[in-house]
Amino acid sequence: MKTGIYTNAFREYPFEVAAKKIRDAGIDMIELGCGEESGFAHCNPEELLASESRLDAFRGCIADNGLEIPKTWDEFIALCQTIKDKGDMSPLVVGGSDVWHIGFLYDLCYANDVLESDPDFIEECYKGEKDFSDPNYQKAVTDLAEVLSFAQDGWASTPDAQITTFFVNDMSAMMFSGTHMFGQINEAAPDFDYGWFAVPDRDGKINLLGGGTAGGWALSAEAAKDPDKQAAFDAFCKYFFSSDVYGEYCEQMAAIPTTVETPKMNSSEQFQTVLDALSAADYTHLMWNQEVGNRELPPDFRNFTYKTCIEVAQGSRDVNSASAELQKTWNVALQSFNPTTGLGVE
């Protein structure tokens, strides 16, 4: 298996010295500390981004010592291939028997290949201006199939509830999921050492995806007509979103805060990495089934899409066949649901 190390173990050394020691020890992969508990001994993002010369020197040090930080989608795929070739574990663990689980990887490919250049793709499909034979959409389906080729044997019959077991027992090197998994990992193996990173697109840009945004507190229109109920609702929201209460909620749920001011939180190192990445992301998108308005999906179209993409990954249909099947199902759905015209919208 590939051997990795957290560079905080060498924090007393300058990065140039630490890199040589790590190289000489035969370490294959590293995780750099970038603030908080790990300090800035080896990487201070603000300083590096503010000085091109410092950034070049930093990259040069990494290259000189045979260490690589994946900076593009192609490098991520190459990393998966290297792990697969080693044969000690699968590069990825996927819980494909729960069809919705495929959405994590699907949405990444969809965001990278479609939404970056055309955030209104679904609305344009409703209007008949685009369809699922679009080259960028087909690229997303193809990319998803390639990623799934690096999943464990039997991924399509593995439930989401089992992926943590694969991960913490060194059966799989990586999982692609949400921050809610941090709690499951910590509960399953409290001493398990792991990190988090964002998978870049082909140009090295970072797309981060958000889910669960449709959930939350709501007051019905009828209840809002009652001043006492409205006042009670307002008071509850002020309490819930107060810094201490909301911060504790986000800690327990590993949830991304949505308030303007960041609440008081004792974030884990992994979760803080997510928050930092979110602040620096090139793009942020909702998962495609979380969209509303003219980008809302027809009922049941999400899961049908995932099942069709699984068929592509398993080789039972090609991408052109998948596009045709998706378009056929889309056209049927449009007979009863089209938010651009108001059809089927309550």
CA distance 49 to 40: 14
Per the CB < 8 A criterion, the answer to whether 167 and 175 are in contact is yes
CA dihedral 323, 328, 334, 339 (to 10 degrees): -10
CA distance 145 to 139: 10
Q: Where are the domains of the chain?
A: 4-64, 73-213+284-333, 221-280
Per the CB < 8 A criterion, the answer to whether 313 and 99 are in contact is no
**Has domain 73-213+284-333 been given CATH number 3.40.50.450?**
no
pLDDT, one tens digit for every residue, the chain (346 residues): 445 555 666 667 777 677 777 766 666 666 676 665 556 667 777 776 777 777 767 666 666 555 466 789 999 999 899 889 989 899 999 999 999 999 999 999 999 999 999 999 999 999 999 999 999 999 999 999 999 999 999 999 999 999 999 999 999 999 999 888 998 999 999 998 888 889 999 999 999 987 655 456 777 888 889 999 999 999 999 999 999 999 999 888 888 888 888 898 888 888 888 888 888 899 888 888 888 899 999 999 999 999 999 999 999 999 999 999 999 999 999 999 999 999 887 7
CA distance 318 to 330: 18
Write down the pTM of the prediction. 0.77
How large is the angle between the packed helices 15-24 and 52-64, nearest 10 degrees? Answer: 20
Those residues whose C-beta lies under 8 Å from the C-beta of residue 50, and which sit 6 or more positions away, are: none
CA distance 26 to 313: 35
CA distance 325 to 331: 10
Per the CB < 8 A criterion, the answer to whether 121 and 114 are in contact is yes
CA distance 172 to 136: 30
Strand partners, 145: none
Q: Is the dihedral of CA 332, 338, 341, 342 positive or negative?
A: positive
